[in-house]
Structure 1
Amino acid sequence: MTRKSIAIDMDNVIVDIETNWIAWYHNEFGIQVTKEAMHGIPEDQAFPDPLAARSLIYKPGFFRNAPLIPGAQEALLKLQENFDVFIVSAAMEFPNSLSEKYDWLAEHFPFIHWKNIVFCGDKRVINTDYLIDDHLKNLDFCQGTPILFTAGHNRGIDKYRRVNNWDEALELLAAE
């Protein structure tokens, strides 16, 4: 029997970009934004100055120093037992993100082989059995089964099967 494949997004799926962005905004501008402020709107719109918030994504270290999503490491190790796991990230838009995301993965997910890391500009080229992502723009073009990973900006959307955390993702995929 052929192993099924899973493409897993980075930002807001294994990397806690929301928490990171909030911390960077607070450090840079002295204004504290809550995660609840991000519910149901595009991420940068949760900040008092969306342009200033977006500028932080271009700063060196933004992607490299982001925290892990709880349970992600353990879940991906578990998934590798039964699936071909690929990390897929649209890392081309922001100049620093390509190398920073690669270094971040090497630190936090050393068990993911470099051949299973796909940095791209558009995820429509990905053809796996499953795609776990937080953005509809990626799931809408998924060639396999799309799975929506909960993030602030996608709350209230019920277009795809949703998982709120890695325990739920493991449970869903174990039932497949």
Structure 2
Amino acid sequence: MRKPIIAVDMDDTICHLVKRAIHYNNIHFPTHPLRYEDMLEWNTDHLRHPECTEEVFFQRPGLYEELELFDEHVVEEMEKLHRDYDVIIVTAARPKTVHEKWNWLQRHMPFIPFDNFFVCKRKYLLEFDLLIDDGAHNLLPAMERGKQVLCIPHPWNLKAREQYPFPVMTSWQGAKERVDEMLQTRAAM
């Protein structure tokens, strides 16, 4: 019998990308400081300095290797999930950032094998039982396909959380138990 597949996003789900990108934006473009709380949409062009393109904002060399863990519980909970489920990391990445993301994952979660590392922007194309993600553009298609989801809340998904009934996970503490409960409830249906 196959283990349930838990798909887990990387950026702003198990680590903090936007906060670190904002940090560098504010150093290099002090006339256009950004705040995490103001990041209410995926498209932040209207907030950034004209010279701060998406490539500059999200593709600074070394950025992905220095990201902070989401919280102090994420590694332990991911290891618990990995023991009982088929955990796959599903992350959108440009070619320049794939190596950095893999290095980050191996530094912090070496128990995740390479075979479970997927670079994919359109996550709905993959098969999984439950998705943990911060992007409404990933959560909604999964829900529409009848998949379980857990939303990591951030300002950019607030509107979607108000519109759709995404279950929310504000901390990784107790994540394994939460996933167990969701999948058991689903199996009982």
Q: TM-score, normalised by structure 1?
A: 0.85
Aligned Cα root-mean-square deviation (Å): 2.2
Q: Which amino acid aligns with 2:150?
A: I
Who is 1:17 aligned against?
A: 17
| Identical amino acids, percent of aligned pairs | 27
When residues 48 and 56 of structure 1 are mapped into structure 2, their CA distance, relative to the original with a 3 A threshold, is: closer
Q: Report the alpha carbon displacement of residue 6 of structure 1 after superposing the two structures with TM.
A: 0.2
Distance (whole Å) between structure 2 residues aligned to residue 17 and residue 75 of structure 1: 20
When residues 50 and 126 of structure 1 are mapped into structure 2, their CA distance, relative to the original with a 3 A threshold, is: farther
Q: Contact conserved, 1:73 with 1:108, CA < 8 A, in 2?
A: yes
When residues 120 and 48 of structure 1 are mapped into structure 2, their CA distance, relative to the original with a 3 A threshold, is: closer
- 2:148 is aligned with 1:136: no
Any unmatched runs of 5+ in structure 2?
183-189
Once the two structures are overlaid, the 10-residue window that deviates more, 137-146 or 65-74, is 137-146
Alignment of structure 1 residues 52-91 onto 2, 5 Å = 52=52, 54=54, 55-70=56-71, 71-91=73-93
- 2:157 is aligned with 1:151: no
Q: TM-score, normalised by structure 2?
A: 0.80
Distance (whole Å) between structure 2 residues aligned to residue 32 and residue 78 of structure 1: 39
Q: Which amino acid aligns with 1:155?
A: L
Q: Which has the larger radius of gyration?
A: 2
Moved over 6 A (4+): none
When residues 165 and 46 of structure 1 are mapped into structure 2, their CA distance, relative to the original with a 3 A threshold, is: farther
Q: Which amino acid aligns with 1:73?
A: V
Aligned residues: 173
When residues 129 and 73 of structure 1 are mapped into structure 2, their CA distance, relative to the original with a 3 A threshold, is: same
Who is 1:125 aligned against?
A: 125
Q: Which amino acid aligns with 1:35?
A: Y
Higher helix share: 2
Distance (whole Å) between structure 2 residues aligned to residue 168 and residue 149 of structure 1: 14
Distance (whole Å) between structure 2 residues aligned to residue 50 and residue 14 of structure 1: 30
Distance (whole Å) between structure 2 residues aligned to residue 83 and residue 169 of structure 1: 13
When residues 141 and 24 of structure 1 are mapped into structure 2, their CA distance, relative to the original with a 3 A threshold, is: same
